[in-house]
Amino acid sequence: MSNVGIIQANKSSVSSLYRLVDLVVITLTFFSTLLAFELAPNPNTMILLCASIIVYMLVAEGLELYRSWRTSPLRELLKHVVASWTITSFMVIAGSYALTGYNMLRPTEVLLWLVLTYPALTLWRAGFRQMLTVYRKGGGNSRSALVIGANASGLALANQLRDQEGLGISCIGLFDDRAPQRLPYDVRGQVLGGVDQAIAMARRNEVDYVYIALPMSAEKRIMQVLDKCSDTTATVSIIPNFFIYNLINARWQNIGSIQALSIYDTPFQGASDVLKRLEDVIFSSLILALIAVPMLIIAALVKITSPGPVIFKQDRYGLDGKKIRVYKFRSMTTADNGATVKQATKNDARITPLGAFLRKTSLDELPQFINVLRGEMSIVGPRPHAVAHNEQYRKLIQRYMLRHKVKPGITGWAQINGLRGETETINKMVKRVEYDLEYIHRWSLWFDVKIILSTVVNGFVNKNAY
């Protein structure tokens, strides 16, 4: 397993830090300029500062400044910083003159601030990048990778990963199904096993990145490998520039001088991740404040009407296939949470009278807003299934595990399209997975709002919920 270290495994935590520091840096250089000219802040200057920060953040997002730069050269990152601040500078100068005629600050003062901000924005990034490099060379914030395809491209990629220790990506080795005598001479002895062994490692979460370096002529073989990879939560990339296959938020990335296309990835990176988390925190906080009293009443009724705990806690798969404990009001006389979990059916004898009402109206799901506030779930996302059901369906449904590239949700695109409750046939679950993957592919803030509004308007009552 890779050593995540102090810095979190996902890229978004670092990109959030970048945004915060940029905001602080721009603000500090602004006040330093005021201090140099012995000027006191006033409403006009604060409007200029706030407008500049907003413009910079919007421009930076447009230029993808806050995406992951882990495998990209520092110079490319700094180019984006300079470009973002240059565009912002022109807009600030043009806007301040057009709107106020330089009444906020004189041209000399504005120019000094804009010039000082260039080295401030670039130097702190260069310093932080160097700190990350040293930390990663020491084994911190590391990831593991394997390469499928023992050929010139695969070997070149493996060497890049091994030579550039600052990337913090440890290459486990090459994997290929060919017999040793059929392999190129320079890769013989470096192949650790076959493709199935590589996939098995990814399924056991022992590897973070899977790079496929098979030749373009092996399109059928690559499709087979991709099908197998869809049953893992590893980030899968193709080397170098192949066909596109069932893209799930694909994006290009550089690993040294090697270019890779990430095939199965999450839409929640950088600003999207921050936006999604803000949406969850704001909505869950407001909803919990509104439903606090009803939840207390339901808890009391559950306790009074049947023996057992008020809250039913069940292990389910969360983001990246990691187990989370999901909360529900207990609606049954049993609390299945093992290797076998029977789905609730119509007239199920395990369901209590109160539980039947709670399940029909989805009121049993209300405690999951606590899971959302804790960061384990989202308001909108694929519905989490019991671990036993995940293990069952991942063997039967292609690309099933890709739904775990995002946090599970209380409501989702599949649910508002009628796919809720018991899935007595495999086709129903296949359709649910199709809607889940469509949600991941189409995600936007407005799409989430649409799903939330549809859930509220159409109600939580569902004839398929037992």
Instruction: Assess whether pLDDT exceeds 90 at residue 175.
Output: yes
Contact between 438 and 380 under an 8 Å Cβ cutoff? The reply is no
What pLDDT shows up at residue 121? 94
Residue 327 lies in a domain: yes
pLDDT grade for 101, boundaries at 50, 70 and 90: very low
Q: What is the CA radius of gyration of the chain?
A: 26
Whether 374 and 399 share a structural domain: yes
Q: Does 97 lie in the same domain as 217?
A: no
329 located within any domain: yes
Q: Of the residues 96, 114, 137, which one is the last residue of a structural domain? A: 137
Q: At residue 320, does pLDDT exceed 50?
A: yes
Q: Would you tell me the crossing angle of helices 445-458 and 271-305 to the nearest 10 degrees?
A: 20
Query: Residues for the chain: how many in total?
Result: 466
Alpha carbon distance 158, 164 (integer Å) = 10
Residue among 31, 76, 79, 34 at smallest CA distance from 53: 31
* Residues 131 and 161 occupy one common structural domain: no
Question: Is the domain of 292 the same as that of 240?
Answer: no
372 & 440 share domain = yes
Cα separation values, 91 from 86, 107, 316, 386, Å: 9, 14, 49, 52
Residue 439 maps to a domain? yes
- Where in the sequence is the domain holding 188, given as residue range(s)? 143-264
Q: Is the pLDDT of residue 335 over 70?
A: no
For residue 83, pLDDT beyond 60: yes
Conformational region of residue 139, where left means phi above 0, alpha means psi within -120 to 50, and beta covers everything else: left
**Residue 207 CB contacts under 8 Å (≥ 6 apart), including other chains:** 2, 144, 145, 146, 172, 198, 201, 234
Last residue of a domain, one of 233, 264, 295: 264
Q: Is the pLDDT of residue 188 over 50?
A: yes
Is residue 104 a contact partner of residue 41, using CB atoms and an 8 Å limit?
no
Q: How far, in whole angstroms, is CA 123 from its chain's centroid?
A: 28
Residues 224, 351, single domain; the answer is no
Stated as kind and residue range, the H or E segment containing 143 is: strand 143-148
User: Which pLDDT score is estimated for 227?
Assistant: 92
The model's pTM is 0.58
What are the tokens at 280? Answer: 């969850």
Average pLDDT, integer, range 391-402: 89
Q: Which pLDDT belongs to residue 422?
A: 62
Averaged over 294-301, what is the pLDDT?
A: 94
Out of 40-54, 197-211, 345-359, which region has the weakest mean confidence (pLDDT)? 345-359
Q: Is residue 434 included in any domain, yes or no?
A: yes
pLDDT of residue 374: 93
- Segment of 187-191, 346-350, 372-376 carrying the highest mean pLDDT: 372-376
Is 5 within the bounds of a domain? no
Which of 215 and 294 is assigned the larger pLDDT?
294
Domain end, chosen from 219, 240, 264, is at 264
Which of the four pLDDT bands, split at 50, 70 and 90, describes residue 423?
A: low
Look at the chain and report how many structural domains it folds into.
Answer: 3
Residue 375 has pLDDT above 90, yes or no: yes
Pair (258, 280) in one structural domain = no
Q: What is the pLDDT of residues 124-166, one digit of tens each?
A: 999 998 888 888 887 777 889 999 988 888 888 888 888 887 7
Least confident of 48-62, 97-111, 280-294, 404-418: 97-111
463 is a domain residue: no
Instruction: Give 72: exposed, middle or buried? Use CB within 10 Å, 0-12, 13-18, 19+.
Output: middle
Please tell me whether residues 259 and 161 are part of one structural domain: yes
Does a structural domain hold residue 70? yes
Q: Which pLDDT belongs to residue 162?
A: 84
pLDDT above 90 for 390? no
* Residue 437 and residue 403 share a domain: yes
Q: What is the mean pLDDT of the chain?
A: 83
**pLDDT tens digits for 432-457?**
999 999 999 888 777 888 899 888 88
pLDDT for residue 395 is more than 70: yes
Per-residue pLDDT reduced to its tens digit, 192-214: 899 999 999 999 999 999 999 88
Express as a percent the part of the chain with pLDDT over 70: 85
Identify the DSSP state of 181: G
